[in-house]
Amino acid sequence: MSEGNFSEWLRAQCEPTWTEVVTHPFAAAISTGEAAADDMRRYLIQDFQFVDTFTALLGAAVACADSFDARVPYGQFLGQVATTEEKTYFHRALEALGADAGPAVLEPVTEDFRTLMDEARTSQDYPLIVAVLCVAEWTYLGWASRAAQPYPDDFVYREWIELHEGPAFRQWVAFLRGELDRLGPALGEDGRQEVLSVFRRAVELEKHFFDMAAG
């Protein structure tokens, strides 16, 4: 690992799966508005359950970050996006797809992802928490930034792309990567391998999540 480049080192260790996630056919189909409504409904029903646990993980990042400077962006993201924009999106999108944002039977991959996030949250180990958050947000920036303009007219697809692209989301991903880059050098080899193991599990789960959505 080269100094200051921990996030890129982690990402590179997860090839080819990383590229399979950001170029996944289901993500590409969202980008063009061509994902079948049944698949999009299944995906968003499961993702709403993902986002619940993800929001709890953001709370753990606020609690476990090692400085006030680091806590603030988590709090901002938690307040502005996870509890408002994203939440209203799920309610509107699921209604448009003929479903509701209530409790759902979890697919195995959703269970596994929630387990990983709960493990990171209860570990209260800040680098492990950042690793999971970073994979979730960086992979989503990866596929959303490949979407060609103009975005689909249908808000179900367009807003999902917009939530994961644009200056604010890029800045958020840059912050998460910057945290890993800052923490990596001090972790020692064992600590870096532990972060890699969590990072890799999260990348694999992102791929399985899109596979699940594609049916």
Ligand X SMILES: Cc1ncc(CN)c(N)n1
Nearer to ligand X, 70 or 205 (CB): 205
Identify the residue among 125, 130, 206, 207 touching ligand X (CB under 6 A).
Answer: 206
Residue tagged 């959303």 (tokens): 144
Cα angle for residues 27, 44, 106 (degrees, 5° grid): 115
How far apart are alpha carbons 133 and 58 in whole angstroms?
8
- Specify the 3-state DSSP secondary structure of 147: coil
Site string for ligand X, 137-156 (x = CB under 6 A): x--x----------------
Q: Shortest distance, CB of residue 63 to ligand X, whole angstroms? A: 19
Nearer to ligand X, 73 or 192 (CB): 73
- Encoded tokens for 85: 């924009």
Nearer to ligand X, 157 or 192 (CB): 157
Identify the residue among 136, 144, 156, 173 touching ligand X (CB under 6 A).
Answer: 136
Residues in the chain: 215
What region, left, alpha or beta, does residue 98 occupy, with left being phi > 0 and alpha being psi -120 to 50 degrees? left
Q: Which of residues 26-55 bind ligand X (CB under 6 A)?
A: 47, 50-51
Q: Which of residues 2-31 bind ligand X (CB under 6 A)?
A: none
Binding-site size for ligand X (CB under 6 A) equals 8
CB-neighbour burial class of residue 178 (10 A; exposed 0-12, middle 13-18, buried 19+): middle
Given a contact cutoff of 8 angstroms between Cβ atoms, the answer to whether 147 and 164 are in contact is no
What residue number has its CB nearest to ligand X?
A: 136
How far apart are alpha carbons 118 and 55 in whole angstroms?
11
Q: Shortest distance, CB of residue 206 to ligand X, whole angstroms? A: 6
Q: Using the rule CB under 6 A, is 165 a contact of ligand X? A: no
Q: Which of residues 53-112 bind ligand X (CB under 6 A)?
A: none
Nearer to ligand X, 35 or 136 (CB): 136
**Residue ranges with strand state E in 64-209:** none
Q: Shortest distance, CB of residue 186 to ligand X, whole angstroms? A: 27
How far apart are alpha carbons 137 and 1 in whole angstroms?
22
Look up residue 151 and give its DSSP letter. P
Nearer to ligand X, 129 or 192 (CB): 129
Nearer to ligand X, 70 or 176 (CB): 176
Residues that bind ligand X (CB under 6 A): 47, 50-51, 136-137, 140, 206, 209
